[in-house]
A and B are shown apart, each in its own frame.
Chain A
Amino acid sequence: MDRRTVLKGLAGAGGLALSGGLAAPAIAQGTSARTLRFVPQANLANFDPIWGTQYVVRNAAALVWDTLYGIDAQLQPQRQMVESEETSDDGKTWTFKLRPGLKFHDGEPVLSKDVVASLSRWAARDPMGLMIIAIQQELTAVDDRTFKWVLKQPFPKMLYALAKNNAPCSFIMPERIAKTDPFKQITEYVGSGPMKFAKSEWVPGAKSVFEKFADYVPRQEKASWLAGGKQILVDRVEWLVMPDPATAAAALQNGEVDWWENPIADLVPVLRKNKNISVDIGDPLGNIGSFRMNHLFAPFNDVRARRAVLMALSQEDYMRAIVGDDDALWKSLPGFFTPDTPLYSEMGGEILKGKPDLDAAKKLLAESGYSGQPVTCLVAQDQPITKAQGDVTADLLKKLGMNVDFVATDWGTVGSRRAAKTPPGQGGWNMFHSWHAGADCITPAAYTAIRANGDKAWFGWPNSPNTEKEITSWFDAKNLEEEKAAIGRVNKAAIEDVVYAPTGFFLTYTAWRKNVSGITKGPLPFFWGVSKSA
């Protein structure tokens, strides 16, 4: 082998790789008024909205799969794929009829058998679905457009369950796909929604492409969140993942992307200075910050210790750590439910109002028998919201005289360690931080974090029979007044027993180029009605 042979070989190998011999994604496309380039909140790493319940999957799925009902901006369920429904006098039998002309992206008609298979798969993974399964007698297709759900007892929240935007949503898939085990991923992404998923262009972690579905039949009503006529006004929507917020901000300013779902608060002033960019609140339902205490082990197995922490915490400290100095982005929250929604209540929330009382909190903590044992506080450093909250909590606990074992780690580790029911010194924990989408905290229906049924509850395993009793009374409520009263009692009971610690309510912005119009505020980005000029 001589020098010339080696050099030729190297040049040949390099040329092959770069000229397309290796698969390469087409990330940068020409700018076009028919293509909307969107920076999502996170990477679309999988695309099964039943198997994976991350918000980003739900958001993308809402383009590809349709639902029987859709929640509107007034938080009311509206017909979507369904033309009509009937309830028997005893409230136990629901009969639904599909709209005519519904088609899947593969050209096949949407039939009742598809709906039955889809609802069965969804119900196996959804908290409300599991409640329905528990009282289900049968779910059957009557004919191609009619299906029937027969229950052993009435379930007044049926339409809400089918319409809700909390993940997992009851998306309708073809029967062959919906028969996949709900704990295994689907491999075909065929829906009947307004856009098709271009699987061949999918580069997980970088790019996802959706193309307009020409045969979609939108409803005649005006679109409102997940309800109404989903008119797609562009040919193509590209989701471009940008892990670095500074890059996303620069790309938006440079016109390389059209819409950035959730710019971080620190960069909003820069975006606002750009005359080509609009910035506004993205989701009016916002988020509720939280930390959970482990109810199984000392010191937080004693309600007095949990109350002491609530008594000492300043929600303002938490909110400023998360959103900075922008007062329009946060408010204090003396409770657990999303502010400015119909059922919102502050009943029993006095402990979270006014200035923190550190002296009283210290006294209560001493009464609980706390004797200086380490408090293991898990803080994910790779999530800005949990990191900010963790820093404030560490300071709070120290002010209370607690011995903080601050475990700085990543979200993946927190996610698995929080499931450990072992004592804190043996791989367990005392506290971890999180946050909940306000859309999930409107009612107890999809609000896993408020449940207080001990071993079956979310991490921290709170056991509060009063809270559970009032949650049941909400499910049984027959009108809005009864629902409101029940939610007030849930709030009071959950605060008394400190199911978890709410750290405040905060909003986030969304930003877009001014040549894009039709963007509406909502709990997820809605692409129907959005258009773009050149």
Chain B
Amino acid sequence: MLSYILRRIVATLPVMAIVALFVFSLLYIAPGDPAVVIAGDQASPEDVERIRQSLGLDRPFLIQFGSWVWRILHGDLGTSIFTNLPVSTMIGQRVGPTLSLMIITLLLTIVIAVPLGVVAAWKAGSFVDRAIMAFAVFGFSLPVFVVGYVLAYVFALELEWLPVQGYTPLTQGFWPWLENLILPAIALGCVYIALIARITRATMLEVLQQDYIRTARAKGLGQGGILFVHALKNAAVPIVTVIGIGIALLIGGAVVTESVFAIPGLGRLTIDAILRRDYPVIQGIVLLFSFVYVLVNLMIDVIYTLVDPRIRY
């Protein structure tokens, strides 16, 4: 197993290299110029050119790419064109809020979506099943920002139970940390809950047709035991796969959610960097997201062995 994990980690290197080349090339050919944004609206073309030169943006593609790769190989993600802060520092400032949001969303999703899917499969064709699936379709259909605004209006402005915006680190207390994340996590989790609930239902329906389930029923096992111990465990592989794939959804959704709830996470950093053409920051974040995605896939492969002993690497 350990050698498999090591091999997979080594295999991520060419993937990351391709991502790096792709991202750098894309930004190079994309329209827009950070020097223009820095110089301000009233700047002369000469000022813009001087700034471009001082940032090294007038150098040929290969030289810019070469020096960037060289820095990456030395563990240096570069310096933001705008803030003059190391990209690693900026990412470090933003990882906590995004990670917190994703973890709470993930927990919330699993706790809600998996039981819903199981119950829907158990009661397939009934009113309960239809109600759960209607809820799932509703969750799919609502954009994150709409859910966010509605939640903020009801629970923050009207009921005054939770704050509208912001983020408090866990070091300042569990409840202050959690109260800022509840609404964003629900908003972000809606689509995800719908997705996992539907997948769980579909997989469970298949498993519930198996002979061993009928045997379990014949042996007199309780419904809860059959559903959650025997059936769910055997349905877990596709569910885990979708949860993993869904992390990409969460990363994308975090961009919107963090804007709506003013959470200073990586999503907002990404948007700000793109709008300003802060190339080193964009490149750093995309590399990070790619790495996380590869890592999540690896974790899913490892989790397969935990839920299904037949799988060996």
Contacts and interface: CB of A to CB of B under 8 A. Distances in A.
Q: Report if A and B associate in a common complex.
A: yes
B166 A25 contact: no
Contacts of A416: 31-33, 36
B268 A411 contact: no
Interface string A177-218: 000010111010000000000000001111100000000000
Contact of A415 (B37, B82, B95): B37
Contacts of A411: 37, 275
A28 B163 contact: yes
Question: In which size bucket is the chain A interface?
Answer: 35 or more
Contacts of B268: 205-206, 243
A275 interface: no
Given A17-B95, A204-B83, A416-B32, A250 B156 contact: yes
A247 B171 contact: no
B171 A20 contact: yes
A306 B263 CA distance: 46
Nearest to B166: A28
A170 to B, nearest CB: 16
B264 A22 contact: no
Nearest to B269: A205
Contacts of B2: 1
Contacts of A415: 32-33, 36-37
A10 B298 CA distance: 13
Given A28-B166, A412-B37, A446-B42, A250 B157 contact: yes
B262 interface: yes
Contact of A187 (B43, B84, B99): B84
A247 B260 contact: yes
B259 interface: yes
Contacts of A184: 54
B64 interface: no
A254 B302 contact: no
B277 A254 contact: no
A22 B95 contact: yes
B271 interface: yes
Interface in B26-83: 31-34, 36-45, 47-48, 50-51, 53-54, 80, 82-83
B164 A456 contact: no
A448 B149 CA distance: 41
Interface in A357-371: none
Nearest to B167: A27
A127 B261 CA distance: 40
Interface string B159-203: 010011111111110001100100000000000000000000000
A54 B40 contact: yes
Given A244-B262, A410-B275, A185 B84 contact: yes
B170 A20 contact: yes
B229 interface: no
A256 B45 CA distance: 42
A267 interface: no
A397 to B, nearest CB: 23
Interface in A1-33: 1, 3, 6-7, 10, 14, 17-20, 22-28
A276 to B, nearest CB: 12
B275 A207 contact: no
B95 A204 contact: no
B253 interface: no
B164 A28 contact: no
A27 B40 contact: no
A257 B305 CA distance: 49
Contacts of A127: 42
B153 A250 contact: yes
A205 B31 contact: no
Given A24-B93, A247-B164, A45 B51 contact: no
Contact of A25 (B50, B261, B264, B299): B264
A244 B264 contact: no
Nearest to A1: B1
Contacts of B234: none
Contact of A22 (B92, B167, B269, B306): B92
B168 A27 contact: yes
Given A24-B171, A412-B275, A413-B31, 13 more contacts: A7-B306, A25-B169, A28-B180, A125-B47, A167-B40, A204-B80, A204-B272, A241-B262, A246-B260, A247-B165, A256-B165, A256-B166, A419-B48
Interface of A: 1, 3, 6-7, 10, 14, 17-20, 22-28, 43, 45-46, 51-54, 125, 127, 166-167, 181, 183-185, 187, 203-207, 240-244, 246-248, 250-251, 253-254, 256, 382, 409-413, 415-417, 419, 434, 436, 440, 446, 448-449, 456, 458-459
Interface of B: 1-2, 5, 31-34, 36-45, 47-48, 50-51, 53-54, 80, 82-85, 89-90, 92-97, 99-100, 103, 149, 152-153, 156-157, 160, 163-172, 176-177, 180, 259-264, 268-269, 271-272, 275-278, 299, 302-303, 305-306
